[in-house]
Structure 1
Amino acid sequence: MAKKTPLHAQHLALGAKIVDFSGWQMPLHYGSQVDEHHQVRRAAGMFDVSHMTVVDVSGGQSTAYLRHLLANDVARLKHAGSALYTTMLNEQGGVIDDLIVYRMTEPGTGEWYRLVVNCGTREVDLAWMADCAVRFEVSLNEQRDLAMVAVQGPEARALTASVLSDSRARLIEGLKPFQGQESEGWFIARTGYTGEDGLELMLPDDEVAGFWQALIGAGVKPCGLGARDTLRLEAGLNLYGADMTQQVTPLESNLGWTLAWEPADRQFIGREALEAQRSEGVGSKLVGLVLEQRGILRAHQAVTVDGVGEGEVTSGSYSPTLECSIALARVPVATGESASVEVRGKSLPVKVVKPPFVREGKKRFS
């Protein structure tokens, strides 16, 4: 049976269309996916993301453990509250998951970290993390009693602060992008998955319904998984299981920037395979596609690049902001500025661009 988040009753009361998402009953939309998308781009929308998995890592070797486990380097996190995006790889360099890691204390003061990983990979992630922890003095603790709400959009921070205590409001005002801090039992981070400014808040299950209702009262609109997907696609953000998997590496997924190659003696899992791939030459890359005529780009459609080779759409949809179809696709590394995609038996020309398509409400490609 699919699990319910602490906000399930609120979703039903708002008339949400509920679907099974990685074993959770989640709202797809509350009436209009397109309206919800525009709400986030133009003002503020909120998402129930309580299905995400939160894992706290503590112990005397927590930093050493994460420097081995993750492709990005937590040693870059110089202060409590700083965060980074990273991948967690297998020995072949394939992506087990992508995640955000927060440093929760100042270096040298009983260090511990908070990781937020995908719900669809929860069991695989936890098993892998536990296996890799055997050689280190660390403790892994899943925080199953925390709900999580993402408030996103140009007005997200101001509207969220308006319904919280003075101390939490001051914290929000002072947060820089990719920072998170604890406040009165909540954890508030300036992160998101939409290409807009905003917050992700982790709070006790029994407090989230009141917070959700307060946000509605402030004018923040509930949004579902449908809008979340079109927003992240416009922002050029990868979806696990589609744009990245255990069969492809970050170098093939437009995620080379998440690999911390220095210092050269940090032996993170997958490094040897990635160095070999980089030395031999990467054969494919993840690019953006724009279809400027009628038609919808979808995952698994064939991509043809004349004189170069073939690829495949990894995820695609209609872009409400751009009013055309867009996609991410894995194509030969020699691909230039044009290609074609097979849509309903027809070969349609597409423009090849570097993601993102949209950030902070504005078109980001020429």
Structure 2
Amino acid sequence: MQKTVLHAAHLRAGAKMVDFGGWHMPINYGSQLEEHHAVRQNCGMFDVSHMTVIDLEGPDATAFLLRLLANDVRKLKDAQALYSTMLNPKGGIIDDLIVYRITENSYRVVVNAATRDKDIAWFEQVIKDFDCDMQERSDMAMIAVQGPQAVEVCDALLPLQLKELKRFTAAQHNNLFVGRTGYTGEDGVEIIIPETQAEALWNDLVDAGVQPCGLGARDTLRLEAGMHLYGQDMNDDISPLECGLTWTVRKEDLDFIGADALEDQRATGISKKHIGLVLEDKGVLRHDQELQDDVGNAGIITSGGYSPTSEKAIAMAIVDHAMNDTIHVKIRNKLLSCRVVKMPFVRNGKSHID
């Protein structure tokens, strides 16, 4: 099992460790609920060094990304970031990722840990047709600091003017790279730093009062924010048009891989849609629970759980496009009532569920 450079720091802090995609990662440091609330109300941090950082450079770097990604990197100026899906020829999602433009001919891409091998293989296959070099930065660690106080705390510790950074932009100082991005629905930063410097920064953040948080809180936070998890809310057989990510697909110059398949879906009719749910009865919503409405349409919960902020059971689901709002979930052979709600469920620390 692989370990991040911060593994020993997690053990010293009493973290409960689990296998996550072949990595030995902290699920919590005691109370997952306290970690969740720390991010919503103050400041928490996550070791996300298991994620894969890829640097791209060359005269065809932009052209390569235009072929590889559904979103349009031409919208980016230097130091700006973009969220995108990466599709297979059938229009299914190979992965979702963040891409940062460094200069006109250089980019940094961060992809998911669990999909690292297939992502690297896909990059290497597509890049053959372009004058562009790729380098996996396995020498770097990554720490996400999230919450309403995150930027202020990090601004005091790092040699960058982070308060001046806008959302989805980045700043760099030597080998320190900081993006004002995250996976919690709160303000914050994601810090990419050489592995040799990561533990010192982690300890400085602890000394500054930042709460270490595990994968458990990261999952409830991203669910409340309506953010997708690869392998559940999307996969190789689900297109962005079916899982609520149509906004990541560019509308012009449709020469990216998977574009033809998406056009075919639009022409024949998109059969699925992505919705948010709140359980009206007592119970817990979980991944893979079956849904149905009163006229026979069906669906499946892709991500579900208890929302600590709203104190309700919430879920994201992919359902038949014709599904109406009279939805029931099957739990232990009982049909319980669900209500369709707009996502995100929580924004800026406050529940948006009526």
- TM-score class, shorter-chain normalisation, is over 0.9
Q: Pick one of 303, 308, 314 that aligns with 1:326.
A: 314
Check the 8 A contact 1:308/1:334 in 2, yes or no.
no
For 1:281 and 1:43, the matched residues in 2 are separated by 45
Q: Which runs of 5+ in 1 are unaligned?
A: none
Secondary structure in 1 aligned to 2:241?
helix
AA aligned to 2:96 is D
Output the CA distance in 1 between the equivalents of 2:98 and 2:233. 17
* TM-score, with structure 1 as normaliser: 0.95
Whether the 8 Å CA contact 1:67–1:266 is kept in 2: the answer is no
The CA distance in 2 between the partners of 1:292 and 1:313, in whole Å, is 15
Q: CA deviation at 1:352?
A: 1.0
1:149 aligns with 2:143: yes
SS in 2 for 1:330: strand
1:177 to 143, 167, 170: 167
* Equivalent of 1:127 in 106, 121, 125: 121
Q: Secondary structure at the match of 1:252?
A: coil
The answer as to whether partners of 1:293 and 1:324 remain within 8 angstroms in 2 is no
Picking from 306, 316, 333, the partner of 2:294 is 306
1:211 corresponds in structure 2 to 201
SS for the counterpart of 2:317 is strand
Q: Quote the Cα distance in structure 1 between the aligned partners of 2:79 and 2:296.
A: 46
Partner of 1:274: 262
Alignment: residue pair count: 354
Find the counterpart in structure 2 of residue 239 from structure 1: 229
Contact kept in structure 1, 2:298 and 2:323, CA below 8 Å: no
Query: Displacement of 1:308 after TM fit?
Result: 4.6
How far does the alpha carbon of each residue in 1:330-352 deviate from its partner, in whole angstroms, 9 at most, with x for none? 11112233300011221100001
Q: Secondary structure at the match of 1:113?
A: strand
> Could you state the TM-score of these two structures normalised by the residue count of structure 2?
0.98
Letter in 1 for 2:50: H
The structure 2 residue matched to 1:80, chosen from 78, 81, 94, is: 78
How many angstroms apart in 2 are the aligned matches of 1:283 and 1:364?
28
Separation in structure 2 between the aligned mates of residue 5 and residue 74 of structure 1, nearest angstrom: 30
Q: In the alignment, which residue of structure 1 is the partner of 2:13?
A: 14
Aligned to 2:323, the other structure's residue is in SS state: coil
Map 1:106-121; keep pairs closer than 5 Å. 107=104, 111-121=105-115
SS of match in other structure, 1:314: strand
Tell me which residue corresponds to 1:196: 186
1:133 and 1:89 map into 2 onto residues whose CA distance is 15
Is the CA contact 2:293–2:325 (under 8 Å) kept in the aligned structure 1? no
CA contact (8 A) 2:285 2:315 kept: yes
RMSD over equivalenced CA pairs, Å: 1.0
Q: Share of identical aligned residues, percent?
A: 52
